[in-house]
Structure 1
Amino acid sequence: MSGSLWLKPPTTTTPLPAVPRPRREHPATRAAPPPAEGPADPSADPGPPPADEQPAADPMDELAERLDGFVAVAVHPDEIAAILESDGMTDDHIRLTYGRADSFALAEDLYARVERRHPEPAALRDGPWHSELAGCLLRGLVFALPGLAYVLAAPLLAGGGGRAGLPGGTIPLLAGAVTGWVWNQALSHRAYTWLGLGERAAAARALLVGAPAGALAGTAVALAVAAPGETPAAVFAAGQSLYLAAATVLLVMGRERALLCALSPLAGAFPAFRWDLPDVLRAGLLLASLAAAVACAAFVVGPGVRRGARGRGGPAPAASLPYGLFGLGSGLLVLHAGVGDTLVSGAGAVIALTLSMGPAEWLLYRFRGESLTRLRTLTTAREFRRAVTGTLVLCLGGYLTVLLALTLAATLVWPDAPWPTPPRIATLLLIGTVLWLGLLLQAFGAVLSAAGVCLLAAAAQTAVPAAGPLAAGGAAALLALLSCVLLVRPTVHRV
């Protein structure tokens, strides 16, 4: 599962309106009524009363008229209160001017005065949260294709005794992969933040500095945990770390097709399922794919070398730490899903999870787009909560259906793979639920909650492997509860 699973937010924002306040005229500036000439005629029209005797205009009516366009499309009074507070209206000003206790009371009155008038929703493809299904499937494919490298390298890595009940060389490979996932997840967030600020050159510079550092970190960890006789696995882990760094650069910069071309030499693994290929050919295919990925990444980050590409007012490095922690938790969960009696028994699960990241990303975009549509068409908060909950259930159910189908298909295609048992399928679906809901919460800014739950579930499975289904089930239930509490609020969906 190479590259980043972080869902980048749109770069467009909706500016909050300025709330105009009525001007008060000074008594000295009021025009004096003209003096009466002659005796008053009792039969004549008395005319309008003097200005001082006219009823004062209700400031609430004036405010409602001025904010009519924004109040009419609000789904909940809290949205109006946010607009009022963003303009700097204090509670003292609201009490003196409008006679209401605070911004929430004023917002409730405005919400009751103005009729709901929601415009026709724009087409989903015109919104910032639209994404083509083909592009998401392509990303899922490039997430999964690197798995063919393990098929090509299997004979080269043979030898050496295993540890922890795993085949020889597995520990360095897993350690290097997890290190790369953590580092590159945080690096992806930092680069995506630069892109959101419109600083593409600064994003390239961040990748130029961070990607090689991540490759070195993954290599160092793999070498540190390698036991005697696992040197080939440690060397392969170094190449794996270098590829993860290059893939992160290409995925963040939107060069999925270039990465797919770089992975094309790995197609030589398909004949290896049935025939024994020469070791020289196996190594050559692996090196060709790695060299192509690194060359493409170096070309993409070229603008980052330019002077002044660092950008101004960029994100703090600490802001990317929670995304790295989420990468650690999700990566460990994927590894636990793929560990069975043998590596072959878990191959179908790992392939299914990596391939499912493409449909998962598309369903995340779909949920966000549908929620924004409901925000513009529904008139009450209750209707919005019901609609968003239904959309969440449909999207999650669709992802789990795709994951199950991919699991069964991968089991049929992979040679000698045992058929997954119902408990393993249930555990895999629970892990898929944790991953998808974690990505969803991450997309809405609740990354710390998602990372904490994933880390707890991964730690529980690591400490007590037999408790895997229970840990995954608890994490899935907790994330589902957090999602229902957070995502039914209309203000969360405003962009």
Structure 2
Amino acid sequence: MSGSLWLKPGTTGDTLPVIPRQRTTPPQGPADPAAPDLAADPLDELAARLDDLAAAAVHPDEIAAILESDGMTDAHIRLTYGRDDSFALAEDLYARVERRHAAPEAPPADPWHTGLAGCLLRGLVFALPGLAYVLGAPLLATGPGRYGLPPGTVPLFAGAVTGWVWNQALSHRAYTWLGLGDRRAAARALLTGAPAGALAGAAVAVAAAGPGEAPAALFGAGQAVYLGAATVLLVLGRERALLGALLPLAGAVPAFRHDLPDPLRIALLLASLTATAVCAGRALRPGPGERRPARGRGGPPFAASVPYGLFGLGSGLLVLYAGADAVIALTLSMGPAEWLLHRFRGASLTRLRLLTTAYEFRRAVAGMLARCLGAYLGVLAALTLTAAALWPGAAAVGPGRIGSLLLVGAVLWLGLLMQAFGGVAGAASVCLLAAGAQTLVPAAGPVAAGLAALVLCVLTCVLLVRPTSHRF
């Protein structure tokens, strides 16, 4: 495409006077004296060459991006077309070409279409590990707690946060390899990264343990191993295998009302952990049709995965501060949240293909954003009420508590949406600031979450009303 847009230097722009073309031989046949033979307008030729792309654009900036990506400099545009820069030239092309979109014979495949059942399954496997804490809670209560928290909470939180940060960054790197079509490289990244993350999480849990918290440190080490293995299975699309590995934790259901012997608790925990690790090892084995990647191929930069780890840190802290029953509701809601993210992405691409003006597109995107966010918050509110009714010792649910939790949910969903559209740095910064404010002043949690939700709403609208944000 790069060579098709360049014209011969010295052609006349449409802002210069019209000069009749000089002939060295008399014309053949009769000529119309009222229609002199004029020099070709290079802008007409460019409009003809870019007709399909310009007709599908919903804003002149899309055409400007095409011109700049083809290597057109401002100097070339001034010399050839008589316009100041690519934006001025794009506005002229946008005005000359009529808006139209070729209707496909069959609806195009929607790469963002996903079934609700699959997303609900992921939400379930996100929430089931919470039963491990029900089984392990009596085993951890061997000494006094610190900072006003239950016994063993500090090493467990420290190990969990470490695992979230590491595995969020690892997931991004592995997904990037999968996007490049290299499953072998993705598996290799998981094979080296998941054990390293498990070791880091276990080391942090042990280092954070105080006197009498050795059982909690041991539990934190197992938690770190589980997080690494679950990351492998989720990235490689083995949710059903992970669900099967978590089934032993269903033995925690009687523990809500009855006391279980400690050997049974330990056996259920070890069975689930072992099954998860074994399934992850089997998932990392190369398939029969996989080929080795070409030597010397560069992979995604490690620095590109850092913002995803920071987003995991900020969002994880916000979830932890919400309380045990709220954690269950939030993790279960991640399934519907993921489905709504896919719905928004697919609908935005459809609107981008069908609408003809930037105003219509902005209005449609704003409406879709409000509907998807409202649907997610409605699901989260229902799950919160359900979790509060079933979880033993849950805090009373009132309007204030539900409102605070919905603010946290809005921060998480909008942050995930920005992450999906490449705005992970902004989402991570907002979540970290909100989590830091809540750490310093716990009473300011609802205010911090509310401000974070408001900022993310503004950032999301600014990012997603641009048509170019949806074309990658």
CA distance in 1, matches of 2:75, 2:262: 79
Q: Amino acid of the residue matched to residue 76 of structure 1?
A: H
Cα deviation digits, residues 116-166 of structure 1 (max 9, x gap): 112347988822222221111111110000001111112222221011111
- Trace 1:99-114 onto structure 2 (pairs within 5 A): 99-114=82-97
CA distance in 2, matches of 1:328, 1:441: 16
Q: Amino acid of the residue matched to residue 194 of structure 1?
A: W
Match of 2:307 among 322, 329, 338: 322
Matched, 1:392 2:369: yes
Other-structure match for 1:279: 262
Closer, same or farther in 2 for the Cα pair 1:236/1:35, shift >3 Å? closer
CA distance in 1, matches of 2:9, 2:142: 88
Contact 1:179 1:218 in 2 (8 A): yes
Other-structure match for 2:5: 20
Other-structure match for 2:222: 239
Cα deviation digits, residues 221-262 of structure 1 (max 9, x gap): 111111111111111111000000000000011111110111
Contact 1:20 1:66 in 2 (8 A): yes
Closer, same or farther in 2 for the Cα pair 1:428/1:19, shift >3 Å? farther
CA distance in 2, matches of 1:193, 1:149: 31
SS at match of 1:249: helix
TM-score (norm 1): 0.88
Contact 1:201 1:309 in 2 (8 A): no
Contact 1:75 1:490 in 2 (8 A): yes
Other-structure match for 1:7: none
Q: Amino acid of the residue matched to residue 128 of structure 2?
A: L
Quote how far apart the aligned CAs of 1:452 are.
0.7
SS at match of 2:99: coil
Q: Amino acid of the residue matched to residue 380 of structure 2?
A: L
Quote how far apart the aligned CAs of 1:62 are.
1.7
Quote how far apart the aligned CAs of 1:196 are.
1.1
SS at match of 1:130: coil
Cα deviation digits, residues 372-427 of structure 1 (max 9, x gap): 11111111111111111111111111111111010001112223434312222111
- Trace 1:41-440 onto structure 2 (pairs within 5 A): 46-47=30-31, 54-120=37-103, 126-303=109-286, 312-338=297-323, 347-440=324-417
**Considering only aligned residues, what root-mean-square deviation do their CA atoms show, in Å?**
2.5
CA distance in 2, matches of 1:351, 1:32: 86
Specify which structure has the bigger relative contact order, considering alpha-carbon pairs within 8 angstroms and separated by 6 or more residues: 1
Q: Amino acid of the residue matched to residue 151 of structure 1?
A: V
CA distance in 2, matches of 1:409, 1:142: 18
Closer, same or farther in 2 for the Cα pair 1:271/1:123, shift >3 Å? farther
Closer, same or farther in 2 for the Cα pair 1:230/1:306, shift >3 Å? farther
Cα deviation digits, residues 286-323 of structure 1 (max 9, x gap): 11110010011111122399976887210111111111
Cα deviation digits, residues 172-195 of structure 1 (max 9, x gap): 111111010000001111111111
Quote how far apart the aligned CAs of 1:479 are.
0.8
Q: Amino acid of the residue matched to residue 316 of structure 1?
A: P
Contact 1:19 1:87 in 2 (8 A): no
Q: 5+ residue gaps in structure 2?
A: 12-21
Contact 2:311 2:432 in 1 (8 A): yes
CA distance in 2, matches of 1:428, 1:411: 12
- Trace 1:25-36 onto structure 2 (pairs within 5 A): 33=25
CA distance in 1, matches of 2:99, 2:283: 49
CA distance in 1, matches of 2:284, 2:82: 58
SS at match of 1:165: coil
Q: 5+ residue gaps in structure 1?
A: 1-15, 37-44, 339-346
CA distance in 1, matches of 2:44, 2:119: 49
Closer, same or farther in 2 for the Cα pair 1:164/1:321, shift >3 Å? same
Which is worse superposed, 433-442 or 411-420?
411-420
CA distance in 1, matches of 2:190, 2:135: 29
Quote how far apart the aligned CAs of 1:448 are.
1.0
TM-score (norm 2): 0.92
SS at match of 1:397: helix
Quote how far apart the aligned CAs of 1:18 are.
6.3
Closer, same or farther in 2 for the Cα pair 1:60/1:136, shift >3 Å? same
Cα deviation digits, residues 180-220 of structure 1 (max 9, x gap): 00000011111111111111101101111110111111111
CA distance in 2, matches of 1:479, 1:276: 44
Contact 1:250 1:259 in 2 (8 A): yes
